[in-house]
Amino acid sequence: MRTFILSGITHSVSLAAEAFWNIGNDWEVGASAGPAIYFGLWRSTYIANENGVFGPAGSTGQVLPRIVPHQGAVAGLSVSKGAFSLGYSYLYAPPHFAGTGNGVPRGINGAHMLYLGYRW
């Protein structure tokens, strides 16, 4: 048995279509969705919980995967008043074992993004 401690970041590029609806008094709501390409930069440190194939109890090791792009999706909602907008997007980034060579997936399934915008 091993305990895993995972840390890292995810980068993505998406191409989303966005529709807006004017609800009056200069207010708009919007929805967006589209495909995304993402890759994760992460590190997994493991600690052996018992003596065995992973070493004596308490020993540690690291797993660093190759950087491999994967397909995901992005979807979001926004609200705006005049030139200001507030939005939320979610990047769906399912874990993949490809590129690790050892059966250890990334430690995330997606990313939440909150943003504030201004149009001029």
Number of domains in the chain: 1
What is the value of pTM for the model shown?
A: 0.74
The predicted model gives 102-107 an average pLDDT of 59
Exposure of 48 in the CB half-sphere (CA atoms within 13 A): 12
Query: What span, in angstroms and rounded, lies between the C-alpha atoms of 37 and 99?
Result: 16
Closest to 76 (Cα-Cα) out of 26, 23, 21, 17: 17
Q: What is the average pLDDT across 97-115?
A: 69
Task: Give the model confidence (pLDDT) of 16-49 as tens digits.
Answer: 999 999 999 999 999 999 999 998 777 778 888 8
| Cα–Cα distance list, 11 to 20, 67, 70, 72 (Å) | 26, 11, 11, 11
Task: List, in sequence order, the alpha helices (H) in 8-103.
Answer: none
| Per-residue model confidence (pLDDT) at position 20 | 93
Contact 76, 31 (CB under 8 A): yes
- Domain housing 114: 2-118
Cα–Cα distance, 43 to 20 (Å, whole number): 40
